[in-house]
Amino acid sequence: MSTQQKPVIALTLGDPAGIGAELIARLLARPEATQRANIVLVGDEWLWREGQRVAGVQVATQPVDRIEAVRGRPDTGAPAWLGVDTIEPGQVHVGQAEAAGGASVLRVLNACMDAARDGHVDAICFAPLNKYAMKLGGLGHDDELHHFAKYLGVTGYFCEFNTLGDLWTSRVSSHIPLKDAAAALSIDCIKDATRLIYRSLQANGIAEPRVAVAAFNPHGGDGGTCGREEVDIIAPAVRQLNEEGLPVQGPFPADTIFLKAQAGEFQAIVTMYHDQGQIAIKLLGFSRGVTVQGGLPIPITTPAHGTAYDIAGQGRANLDATWQAFLIACRMGLSHRASRTQAG
């Protein structure tokens, strides 16, 4: 595949005090990375050098002065490198969440989103960030997903997907108190979450996704004796989705639905609140999990494990989740590029 045929993937180094730069250095040291995508790495030069030092690798890059130059460049087998100055080495204390680091992350991500919005990038894969540091550094939203949605002008439904290999999960409510989770359920929200993950799996290369919907109450509500959300909200949502032509199934009790998925019956599960899916996914494979930002006009992925401040700078970071996040960005970026070409 020539450079012109490959999806253009923007990579970032993540929180400067965490393991992000080390992970990206390990990823780009793999020849398969540039075989799959036309990569542009965006970040501070000193941080990129430090990431290579910690990882014990050296990666040749091709400097560019603007992201617009990446798509048409010759295929040298090296990632493009766009250096930006967002933070000084003396402002970073390894393993600590600080305002300067959070502000740095925001500046780099915003630059990548600008490029994606203008059609110069097909997908973004960002190294781990820290929400607290970002809030100290100016993030005005609960999390990065809401920042992305606001920045990109999203007015429709959006949510995080968490993936582990071939299994994806979405959720109806996310970063809210558990006591508010029941009130957040509605037929429309369940339908939105289900449609979105179904379409996103298709963009990831699965023509006819097998999607299941989780119950909310213990034992799936036991016919209404242990809560009526299944009877009044979840089952009607599933019926209406079936009437639309989406062959989704459920609701299934949450304590057994992941056993069905693990056995291969389903490729995606729509959960009703944050921990209902997160506990299962992280238990099944914490080091391989990926977060996909669903419902945005561009694919954005990241490893699900976070900045790992406790091992930052020690050369011990596990690449598995970052590699999987990169592969998903490549697949979805290629699909996004194709759909944009057809529309244009």
Mean per-residue pLDDT pooled into runs of 10, the chain (344 residues): 82 98 98 97 98 98 96 93 98 98 98 96 97 96 93 92 91 91 96 94 90 96 94 98 96 95 94 92 85 94 95 96 96 88 70
**Exposure pattern of 237-271 as b/e (b: 16+ CB <10 Å)?**
bbeebeeeebebbbbbbbeebbeebeeeebbbbbb
- What integer pLDDT is reported at residue 175 of this predicted model? 82
Residue type, 74: P
In a 13 Å sphere around the CA of 97, the CA atoms on its Cβ side amount to 14
Exposed / middle / buried, residue 178 (Cβ in 10 Å: 0-12, 13-18, 19+): exposed
- What integer pLDDT is reported at residue 281 of this predicted model? 87
- What integer pLDDT is reported at residue 198 of this predicted model? 95
- What integer pLDDT is reported at residue 344 of this predicted model? 61
